[in-house]
Amino acid sequence: MLFNFHLSILFPLRGSGETLLPFVIFHTMKKMNKFEHVSLAIACAALLPAAGVYAQESENQVLSAISGTTFSGYIDTSMGWQFGDKTTSAGRVNDAADRQNGFNLNVAQLRFSKELDEDASIWSAGYAASLLIGPTAQEMSYADGEFALQHAYVDLRAPIGNGLDFRFGAFESLLGYEALETYANPNYSRSYGAYLEHGQSVGGLAAYTFDINGWLLSMTAGIANAFDNPVMNGRASNSARLSYMGALDLIFPESTGFLEGTEVYVALVNGINSDPAMDADSQPNNFGLNAWIAVPLPVEGLSFAFNYDYAGNGSRGGSSPVGSSWANAYAGYLIYDVTDKLTFANRFEYAEGSAGAYDSIGDADRSWLWGADQDQFIADTFTVAYKLWDNVITRAEFRWDHDLSGNKRMTDDGTRENAFGISANVTYMF
């Protein structure tokens, strides 16, 4: 689910030489999106003065070209400290060692988009392009330092049944309960499962939603150049082997009582990483699986979600051998919307994998420090979110992580089994 945004520019026409006051209005309308699970709500209105020298909108090619286009984004900041003057890296994504024990600008996002028409009975086209500036950009597969293109794609709809949708370009993975946009998640820090998930793809998707007596079933299938793309248009191998992905999304109808709105999601991605100099048969195959369910509970404002992630790859021989690896991550979320401004969220998780699977440092072999036992962690994260200002989310969070393997992997120097940290997060959305 996300919000669909439409830009209307209304020009009250006056005689030549008179002041013209254009009204710029952003409309929001909740709708189901078959490709993403990122919620973004923006509503604003502006009254702008201008000289009365414009022709009618239908005669202005520039205004016609941008009709329906919206400009949006957000600025994400944080502060974080680990107890005991240490830093923690295992399985961290947006709050790794380089963003602990201090203040951070995480990311600024600038996004231009035009959504598909609500009427599925007509041909429709849209697009989206999103630029990230800041350390969070490094989480994207094809990042250049602290700059990254989060996505840039064209959406097309054919008026077949409920609308057959296509997407072409660069887009985020189908995997994941948690989003890159931290304000859209129950907690500020992301889960061990988010650490495992496939990042971005360059390719094409096709999606269709079936309405079966109120049950909404969306099916998505796609192909891409490679499983992971450090270079935007990088191919998987010199034999141009492709990667494949698919997803199913089911939403419960009103007839299910308090379960109305329950969502069940399953997605997978399979392929090899970008390396055009290597033959496909010499590269390890990568596989990612994500499944989650979000359920409203029979207490007003209370909901529960459960998420599962799996990541694995095969071994590779040759001059640069790579061993096989695997990892599982399980997370349960309890979310309580006390008011429209105040929310409590608790996430408990368990993660396991081959030794070094959750090593955020990126060394090929840390057995010299962490030991050769497989990774095994538990963590609990409690977050309080409050919206004191419009379009601003402020959050305070406490997180505890524990290494079950006995290898004391909870600090970079391999000296502790437990890590305790607090953080604050302030995000402005526009």
Whether 50 is covered by a domain: the verdict is no
pLDDT digits (tens, 9 = 90+) for 13-71: 333 333 333 333 333 333 344 454 433 333 333 333 343 443 454 445 545 566 789 99
Return the percentage of the chain with pLDDT > 90, whole number.
Answer: 57
Q: What is the band of 283 on the pLDDT scale with cuts at 50, 70, 90?
A: confident
pLDDT digits (tens, 9 = 90+) for 208-266: 999 999 999 999 999 998 887 777 787 776 666 889 999 999 999 999 999 999 999 99
For residue 404, give both structure tokens.
């079950």
Whether 157 is covered by a domain: the verdict is yes
Q: Looking at the chain, how many residues does it have?
A: 430
pLDDT digits (tens, 9 = 90+) for 349-397: 999 998 888 875 544 444 445 556 789 999 999 999 999 999 999 999 9
Give me the mean pLDDT over the 280-293 stretch. Answer: 84
From residue 86, how far is each of 155, 266, 402 by CA, in Å?
46, 37, 14
Return the percentage of the chain with pLDDT > 70, whole number.
Answer: 77
Write down the pLDDT at residue 407. 81
Write down the pLDDT at residue 38. 37
Whether 125 is covered by a domain: the verdict is yes
Write down the pLDDT at residue 340. 93
The predicted model scores a pTM of 0.81
Whether 15 is covered by a domain: the verdict is no
Whether 425 is covered by a domain: the verdict is yes
Whether 338 is covered by a domain: the verdict is yes
Structural domains counted in the chain: 1
Do residues 324 and 284 lie in contact, with contact meaning Cβ atoms separated by under 8 Å?
yes
Write down the pLDDT at residue 54. 39
- State the Cα torsion 107-113-117-118 to the nearest 10°: 20
Amino acid at site 28 = T
Write down the pLDDT at residue 112. 96
Give me the mean pLDDT over the 71-98 stretch. Answer: 90
Rounded to whole angstroms, how far apart are CA atoms 94 and 255? 39
Domain that holds residue 219: 71-429
Q: What CATH number is associated with residue 98? A: 2.40.160.10
Write down the pLDDT at residue 166. 98
- State the Cα torsion 190-192-196-198 to the nearest 10°: -20
The two beta strands, 286-296 and 302-313, are: antiparallel
Q: What is the band of 409 on the pLDDT scale with cuts at 50, 70, 90?
A: confident
DSSP 3-state of 274? coil
Asked which of 15-19, 129-133, 170-174, 340-344 is least confident by mean pLDDT, the reply is 15-19
Whether 57 is covered by a domain: the verdict is no
Q: What is the DSSP code string of 205-240?
A: EEEEEEEETTEEEEEEEEEES-S--SSTT--SSTT-
Whether 221 is covered by a domain: the verdict is yes
